[in-house]
Amino acid sequence: MHSPASHAELTTAIAVAAVAFILLAGWLFGSLARRVGQPAVVGEIIAGIVLGPSVLGLLPGHLTDVLFPAAARPMLNAISQIGLLLFMFMVGWEFDRSLLQKRRTAAAAVSLSSVTVAFALGAGLAVVLYANHSTVGGKHVSGLAFALFLGAAMAITAFPVLARILTDSRLINTRVGALTLASAAVDDLLAWCVLALVSAIATASGNGLFAQTLALSLAYVAVMLFAVRPLLALLFRRLARGRALPHLLVLVAAGVFLSAYATTWIGIHPIFGAFLFGLVTPREPADELQLHLRRPLGTVGRLLMPVFFIVTGLGVDIAGLTWRNVLELLAILAVACAGKLIGAAVPAFAMRMPLREVGAVGLLMNARGLTELIILNAGVSLGVLDTSMFTMMVIMAVFTTALVGPLLPKGLERTPATNRDPATDREPAAAVPPGAEPAVADTARSAAADPA
């Protein structure tokens, strides 16, 4: 029986039906992941892998292509990008600068060491792997861009995922929790800076265009900090006085998308525009913004971020890996774990933390989860990663995140929380109140349907 609908209408309807299927699959696999003590993001990524060519695509009938036909995938990708941009805004908006002030010495030592070691090992591995992954879609990949990208991908720690793991493990107010959360914040900022550089290198076809991209990027940051931020502060105050804060949701969402467009036009990935817009957006009045901005955006995230996870999983083709790729995957897993475990544990040990806590710091800093997926998707869109490399890196992200739960030392929740910086043995300017969660933990939970 033929439908009277046109081809365009059917394509749209199929995309909408695919979103429904994705939401149900993400909910099911996310729930199963939580039941076995894993972050929901692990289950949602696995759902995408199962629905993709790695599992469902191997069955008779080409079921993956039936459920997610090629004509509908651009629509699914557009939907996932909306959720991703709103989530990146929330990450920037909820970024807790006080974390860096409270434990700045210890956090600087752990983060810089873990980033340096992981980045160096990742870049070194890139030199070895480059010959087999130097061409993507028929186009040559710059060796510098490939090395910088792999180094940044290895150096990342998933800040929102880590916040949720610490909350669920009742470690959020311990010395381990405070130190790793502050260190992860620095890690992510450094990794975003490197990724912005990779984005500029990958999209620029020559030195002149790269210089233009770099200059425009610096100018854009200056405009956001010194023009957009004070204008937003003035707007928020006027809307608060006029009791017109409900209009903020529309205005902020429009600002996020325009900022993402601007960074795309400049030549860097749109996630940087969304993140930077979040950084410059005011946080006050807190109660009203919780009601009129944070909660609505969290609801949108719960609907759209699972689409991002599963669309990411659809690009993973485990069945397409060769024996050489398997060896490369083992090397990637070894480098990813060694870089973070050694880089984070050494300064923690030098601070005379107990060995149990030293191991916990290294293990927690090795969790990559959601943030890694965002970086990997950026690598694909920039033409830096081919399918096999993308598949191996997604497996690494799932593996390093799933590793935390089973290996995290037990009994750490009984470690007395302290407000002293272990590197200086001095009280920070402001302590984390007992029972309080970092704002980004709530962001990760609400904006992405428990992405951690």
Quick one: average pLDDT of 329-349?
Answer: 90
pLDDT score of 391: 92
* CA 434/CA 442 separation, integer angstroms: 16
Does residue 19 form part of some domain?
A: no
Highest mean pLDDT among 7-11, 267-271, 380-384, 390-394: 390-394
Confidence at 56, pLDDT banded by 50, 70, 90: confident
Residue tagged 């993308």 (tokens): 390
* 6 found inside a domain: no
What is the Cα–Cα distance from 160 to 157, expressed in whole angstroms?
9
Position 38 in a domain: no
- Give Cβ neighbours of residue 56 (< 8 Å, ≥ 6 apart): 50, 63, 64, 67
Number of structural domains found in the chain: 1
Higher pLDDT, 409 or 394: 394
Distances (CA, A) of 167 to 119, 161, 173, 194, 372: 28, 10, 9, 29, 20
Does residue 77 belong to any structural domain of this protein? no
C-alpha to C-alpha distance for 355 and 378, rounded to whole angstroms: 37
Q: Is residue 53 assigned to a domain?
A: no
* Region 321-343 average pLDDT: 92
- Report helix, strand or coil for 410: coil
We report the CATH number of the domain holding residue 201 as 1.20.1530
Q: How far apart are CA 206 and CA 201, in angstroms?
A: 9
* Spatial contact of 341 and 113, defined as CB atoms under 8 Å apart: no
Q: Is residue 28 part of a domain?
A: no
Ordered alpha helix ranges (H), 224-351: 229-241, 248-266, 270-280, 286-289, 295-314, 323-350
The reported pLDDT for the residue numbered 96 is: 62
> Is 258 part of any domain?
yes
139 bridge partner residues: 136
User: Mind listing the pLDDT tens digit for each residue in 405-441?
Assistant: 788 777 665 444 444 443 333 333 333 333 333 334 3
Q: Which residues contact 341 (CB under 8 A, 6 or more apart)?
A: 362, 363, 365, 366
Tens digit of each residue's pLDDT (9 = 90 or more) over 289-303: 877 888 888 788 778
- For 228-265, the pLDDT digits (tens) are 999 998 888 887 776 767 778 888 889 999 999 998 88
Look at residue 108 and tell me if it is in a domain.
Answer: yes
98-124 mean pLDDT = 78
Residue 283 belongs to domain spanning: 84-304+320-447
If one compares 200 and 17, the residue with the highest pLDDT of the two is 17
